[in-house]
Chains A and B, each alone.
Chain A
Amino acid sequence: DSGVTQTPKHLITATGQRVTLRCSPRSGDLSVYWYQQSLDQGLQFLIQYYNGEERAKGNILERFSAQQFPDLHSELNLSSLELGDSALYFCASSVGAGTPYNEQFFGPGTRLTVL
């Protein structure tokens, strides 16, 4: 168990809908990262938050947004969902930010299926 929790574990929804994925980092970790893992793209970095502020952005679509709250949990919001958004979404956390040498601890993921 990495100490990172994600809810829900599975989510099934329809095209055009909006969903929110939730992540709680390990105790003491200030950074939260979101990744998408799909069949054809592998593990893709979406966005990082550090202590409530957006720190880095990757291949995140404009239909997707995220935030990190004062208690350090994070939510990833996916809107106007398309079939191609079906994927595993992982959250990871680390103690710090700005250096690659902070080990990232991954949660168990949320499986999103868009029908």
Chain B
Amino acid sequence: GESVGLHLPTLSVQEGDNSIINCAYSNSASDYFIWYKQESGKGPQFIIDIRSNMDKRQGQRVTVLLNKTVKHLSLQIAATQPGDSAVYFCAENGGSYIPTFGRGTSLIVHP
């Protein structure tokens, strides 16, 4: 498949470990945040979202934390699996309804 090819920060973890991917956003008007996963050769896929009136939201094996004070977002993946290897993007709505994407973090899971 095709890779995104960006010079991205990389997080390498062992299978079974928990992963934490961080994202800083800049627009204080943003009130909606999304995490996407992009596997090689595929388009971005929605993982989880959070609105600014929350500071934590949990999904299946994933948790998103939002700290509006320092404009920081994190994605926690529990019991990381090789299938979680991908590029992860955070996106903010910046006060509009079109998301603005961060540059992404490459997650590599070693079996």
Q: Which residues of A contact B (CB under 8 A)?
A: 2, 4, 33, 37, 39-40, 42-45, 48, 56, 58, 88, 90, 92, 97-109, 111
Contacts and interface: CB of A to CB of B under 8 A. Distances in A.
B14 interface: no
Given A56-B98, A90-B43, A107-B43, 9 more contacts: A2-B43, A43-B89, A48-B98, A90-B44, A100-B97, A100-B98, A100-B99, A105-B46, A106-B44
Q: How large is the interface on B (under 10, 10 to 19, 20 to 34, 35 or more residues)?
A: 20 to 34
A88 B101 CA distance: 15
B100 A45 contact: yes
B74 to A, nearest CB: 19
A2 B49 CA distance: 18
B97 A98 contact: yes
Contacts of A39: 5-7
Contacts of A105: 46
B103 A42 contact: yes
Given A42-B104, A88-B2, A109 B43 contact: yes
Contact of A108 (B43, B97, B99, B100): B43
Interface in B6-48: 6-7, 32, 41-46
B4 interface: yes
A104 B32 contact: no
B35 to A, nearest CB: 12
Nearest to A103: B46
A108 B42 CA distance: 5
A111 B4 CA distance: 10
Contacts of B45: 2, 106
Nearest to B32: A100
Interface string B46-61: 1001000000000000
Nearest to B104: A42
A100 B96 contact: yes
B41 A108 contact: yes
A45 B99 contact: yes
B102 interface: yes
Contacts of A88: 2, 4
